[in-house]
Structure 1
Amino acid sequence: MSSGPSNLDAVIFDWGGTLTQWHDIDFHAESLALAQAVITTPTKDDDHHAHAARLHSAGDVIWGRSRDHQQSATVGDLFTAAGLEHDPELLAAYREFWEPHTGTDPQVAPLFEGLRALGLKVGVLSNTIWPREWHEEFFRRDGVDHLIDGDVYTSEIPWTKPSPDAFAAALGAVGATDPARCVYVGDRLFDDVWGAQNAGLRAIHIPHSTIPTNQVGHTEGTPDAVAHELAEILGIVTAWNDV
């Protein structure tokens, strides 16, 4: 652990497209998997493809609320927006659809270890409708859960990024109080870069991802640094920490 003075307290990370490697998603297939959880009745209205179409449209509504109003949501809210009832026990097909896209980047473990060796807290703040348990299971599966000091998932708070309240929740989770002594790392110039800077943090951009057009916000921030690989972040943060 660093014995010298530190200018930083914590580095907090986005999840999807940042700690995971970006994949293009077939959202029609996602909606078909999600529709497996709809509670059906023996009527002509129980059309699996029609349910999937309604869920796909509801997804645009849910993420539109996040983009425009920083309003959080859960999987249950998605079904409500679609006007459909669901059984959480029937979400297995949806979870299985996403499983191949949840792998932790191999560079994460050495990066987290390096940051902690500098005496910095490591956090996660993710815009997500999924329950905390899913994310914790992914980190545990990939052997990095013990390297995370605090994590916040917007499915369990009222706000999403880029709301300053979401970033404040993440700071609280890692025990930090001064946003100017914290860094946020993410793949989105609106949610992650502009949002973090607006909340008083420094921002590192990971330009890995192709952001869906309907999720692009009203403003793009100019990052304090750009890292084309996660491994580059340790050097950036070390330089900031030693100034």
Structure 2
Amino acid sequence: MSYKAVIFDYIGTLVNCRGYSMTASENKLFSALVAEGFDISKTKFLDAYHIAHLKYRRIRYEEYKEVTNAVWVAEALCSLGYRVTPEDECIKTALNVFFQDFIDTIELREGAKQLLEQTSAQTKVGLISNFTHAPVIHKSLRKVGIHKYFNAIVVSDEVGCRKPCPDIFHTLLGRLEVNAKDAVFVGDSPIEDIKGAKDAGLRTVFVPSQFNSLKDLQDSKQKPDQIATDLTTIAHKLEAVAKMQI
């Protein structure tokens, strides 16, 4: 085996999200904040929240700096006259309510658990996820029963940067104590996963998902080392990667 670790993306690559409604979650966020004692107008709060979301979206997707969802909520509340910080417990409580629907919609993709069982028996396994509220990732990993397969997990919310920034890959590699040339990254995003991992020095396997198709990969002009049709074929693609000359 010519690699010492396999690192996976999470949402899209290992799990699907079925039937999630952002509108319903935003309504629950508002209700949770009211329950925490904020006397706010739903329309004014959601307008302020969306303004903050758009502001930080540019930073997140152009500068690859992660900005936790708590910052958006706190900024929206401050614009309505409240003195709060992202660290306030009331905001964390409301965010847990906001994200519960998302956690409930997460389900394993076919072949995910078998792939992780097989891979973790042979080598180190890591996970990198772009997400603005890290507890969601850790809770959902336990919910679907795959948390135990990972030697190291990095969520963008916890480290301040997000894929495709090479730093987040290097952080995970450091925790695994593996060099980039000795690792393979498996993901479904042509830019965040394939370009990001290759820029960080890893070999790559692309797998299409509900979010990214083979056409999306083709349109992106990115060139992964291997392309899998689904998770059930990943093991064969890892064997092909192992035979590559580094």
Query: What corresponds to 1:167 in structure 2?
Result: 169
The question of whether the paired residues in 2 share the 8 Å contact of 1:28 and 1:52 is answered with no
Tell me which protein shows more helix as a share of its residues.
Answer: 2
| TM-score, with structure 1 as normaliser | 0.82
Q: Distance in 2 between matches of 1:80 and 1:113?
A: 41
Give the match's secondary structure for 1:21: strand
* Correspondence 1:51 to 2:45: yes
Give the match's secondary structure for 2:16: coil
Query: What corresponds to 2:210 in structure 1?
Result: 209
Query: What corresponds to 2:87 in structure 1?
Result: none
Task: Flag the 1:53–1:187 CA change in 2: closer, same or farther, 3 A.
Answer: farther
The question of whether the paired residues in 1 share the 8 Å contact of 2:186 and 2:206 is answered with yes
* Correspondence 1:124 to 2:163: no
For 2:175, the aligned partner's letter is A
Residue 93 of structure 1, CA deviation: 3.2
Structure 2: 5+ residue stretches without partners: 79-83, 85-89, 213-219
* Correspondence 1:9 to 2:12: no
For 2:94, the aligned partner's letter is L
The question of whether the paired residues in 1 share the 8 Å contact of 2:13 and 2:209 is answered with yes
Identity rate, percent:
24
Give the match's secondary structure for 2:185: strand
The question of whether the paired residues in 1 share the 8 Å contact of 2:130 and 2:163 is answered with yes
Q: 1:29 aligns with which of 15, 24, 33?
A: 24
* Correspondence 1:68 to 2:69: no
Residue 83 of structure 1, CA deviation: 4.3
Residues 33-69 of structure 1: CA deviation (Å, up to 9, x unaligned): 3323435544xxx211332233233233333212100
Residue 134 of structure 1, CA deviation: 3.1
Q: Which range moved further: 54-63 or 162-171?
A: 54-63
Structure 1: 5+ residue stretches without partners: 1-5, 212-218
Query: What corresponds to 2:217 in structure 1?
Result: none
Q: Distance in 2 between matches of 1:72 and 1:103?
A: 25
Query: What corresponds to 2:181 in structure 1?
Result: 180
Q: Distance in 2 between matches of 1:9 and 1:180?
A: 9
For 2:126, the aligned partner's letter is G
The question of whether the paired residues in 2 share the 8 Å contact of 1:34 and 1:91 is answered with yes
For 1:126, the aligned partner's letter is S
Q: Distance in 2 between matches of 1:187 and 1:24?
A: 20
Q: Distance in 2 between matches of 1:108 and 1:37?
A: 34
Residue 104 of structure 1, CA deviation: 2.6
Give the match's secondary structure for 1:231: helix
* Correspondence 1:96 to 2:96: no
Aligned residues: 225
Give the match's secondary structure for 1:91: helix
Task: Flag the 1:139–1:195 CA change in 2: closer, same or farther, 3 A.
Answer: same
Q: Distance in 1 between matches of 2:143 and 2:109?
A: 12
Q: Distance in 2 between matches of 1:94 and 1:190?
A: 28
Residue 146 of structure 1, CA deviation: 1.5
Report the RMSD for the aligned CA atoms in angstroms: 2.3
